[in-house]
Amino acid sequence: MVAIIDYGAGNLQSVKKALDFIGADSVITDNKDEINAASHIILPGVGSFADAMNCIRERDLEDTIKKAADGSKYFLGICLGLQLLFESSEESPGVDGLGIFKGNIVTIPKDNGLKVPHIGWNSVKLNQTNGIFDGLKDNSYFYFVHSYYLKNAESDIVVGTTQYGVPIQCAVQKGRVAATQFHPEKSSEVGLALLRNFVNRED
């Protein structure tokens, strides 16, 4: 069972529809027992870093999410769900993230001649093709919607990068815990392949 964490600030239905399409059993939930019982957990996210962390804390889900992302379960963060795994973001000074990984969430520069937010398809350079990227081709295109991005993450967890005026670390993976800045649920066949890899992981 895949638990899609509902903390009041996520793009939940599109993730659920994508999982339904690939035949994966899933539930949208903020129930701690359901999250703890799930074998696979997704942390989606749209909106601001501060609003998301405030919602997580108001629903008393912070410790539950940290436990879910401790490496004992299969965990996938999507878009803002990636950013929340880090310690802080320039978007919301003074607001602590979940602190699962070390790295900086910073603003996409607006002086590079490109529109911000970064919206649309972009190719992803893959540093490895295992885990959620098993069988996916290097430089596959995924769909992005974001104004902030991951920078200076520890090199051993960064598995995917893209370019949008600056290098963007857009996918991380450490053991059973993974996260993407792009939206696999909006990325057509390649995104569905990534989600299949996630829900079928049993390593």
CA-based angle 5:169:201, to the nearest 5? 50
Q: Which of 55, 79, 118, 146 is catalytic?
A: 79
Q: Which of 40, 118, 146, 183 is catalytic?
A: 183
CB 50 within 8 A of CB 96: no
Q: Which of 118, 146, 170, 185 is catalytic?
A: 185
Rounded to whole angstroms, the Cα distance separating 147 from 175 reads 28
Kindly state the tokens that stand for 64: 């539950």
183 is catalytic: yes
Rounded to whole angstroms, the Cα distance separating 199 from 76 reads 10
Kindly state the tokens that stand for 49: 């870093």
- The answer to whether the Cα torsion of 160, 131, 155, 99 is positive or negative is positive
185 is catalytic: yes
Tokens 């490109």 correspond to what residue? 114
Annotated catalytic residues are 79, 183, 185
